[in-house]
Amino acid sequence: MAGIKEVAQEAGVSTATVSRALRGLHHVNASTRSKIMDAAQKLNYPLTPIKAKTVTGRTNSVGVVAPYISRWYFSQVISGAEQALREAGLDLLLYNFSQMKGRERLFQHQLLRGRVDALIVISLPPTAEEFDSMLSLGIPIALVGMDHPKCASVKIDDIAGARSATQHLVNQGHKQIGLMSGRPDDPFNFSVPQDRRKGFMQVLVENGLEWLPQREVHGDFTMHTAARAMDDLLARPNRPTAIFCESDEMALGAMQALRRHGLKAPEDISIVGFDGHEMAEFSELTTIEQPVQLMGEMAAWSIMERLRKPNIEPPSLVLPTTLVVRNSTRRITPEEA
- Per-residue confidence (pLDDT) for residue 1, from 0 to 100: 55
H helix or E strand, kind and range, residue 1:
none
Span of 14-28, 42-56, 245-259 with lowest mean pLDDT: 42-56
- Per-residue confidence (pLDDT) for residue 36, from 0 to 100: 86
Does 21 score more than 70 pLDDT?
A: yes
Does 7 score more than 70 pLDDT?
A: yes
Give 131's Cβ-side CA count (13 Å radius). 13
Span of 84-98, 103-117, 262-276 with lowest mean pLDDT: 103-117
| Mean local confidence (pLDDT), 305-334 | 94
- Per-residue confidence (pLDDT) for residue 100, from 0 to 100: 53
- Per-residue confidence (pLDDT) for residue 110, from 0 to 100: 62
Which range, 89-103, 113-127, 224-238, has the best average confidence (pLDDT)?
A: 224-238
H helix or E strand, kind and range, residue 198:
helix 191-206
| Mean local confidence (pLDDT), 35-54 | 67
Domain 1-57 has CATH 1.10.260.40: yes
Confidence of residue 244 (pLDDT cuts 50, 70, 90): very high
- Higher local confidence (pLDDT), 105 or 208: 208
CATH 3.40.50.2300 range(s) for the chain read 158-290
φ/ψ of 198, rounded to 5, equals: -65, -45
Does 231 score more than 80 pLDDT?
A: yes
Confidence of residue 27 (pLDDT cuts 50, 70, 90): low
> What percent of the chain clears pLDDT 70, i.e. is strictly above it?
90
What is the tens place of the pLDDT at every residue in 120-149?
999 987 777 878 888 888 899 999 999 988
What is the tens place of the pLDDT at every residue in 46-100?
654 444 344 456 788 999 999 888 889 999 999 999 999 988 888 898 887 655 5
User: Is beta strand 242-245 parallel, antiparallel or unpaired with respect to 177-181?
Assistant: parallel
Q: Specify the pTM.
A: 0.81
- Per-residue confidence (pLDDT) for residue 185, from 0 to 100: 82
Does 274 score more than 80 pLDDT?
A: yes
Q: Which residues contact 89 (CB under 8 A, 6 or more apart)?
A: 4, 15, 18, 19, 22, 23, 50, 60
| Mean local confidence (pLDDT), 231-243 | 96
φ/ψ of 39, rounded to 5, equals: -65, -40
Span of 101-105, 128-132, 143-147, 232-236 with lowest mean pLDDT: 101-105
Q: What is the mean pLDDT of the chain?
A: 88
Span of 38-52, 293-307, 321-335 with lowest mean pLDDT: 38-52
- Per-residue confidence (pLDDT) for residue 86, from 0 to 100: 87
Span of 82-91, 104-113, 239-248 with lowest mean pLDDT: 104-113
- Per-residue confidence (pLDDT) for residue 88, from 0 to 100: 86
- Per-residue confidence (pLDDT) for residue 101, from 0 to 100: 59
Domain 158-290 has CATH 3.40.50.2300: yes
Beta bridge partners of 143: 121, 153
- Higher local confidence (pLDDT), 235 or 94: 235
CATH 1.10.260.40 range(s) for the chain read 1-57
Answer whether 286's CB lies under 8 Å from 272's CB: yes
Within 10 Å of residue 286's Cβ, how many Cβ atoms? Answer: 24
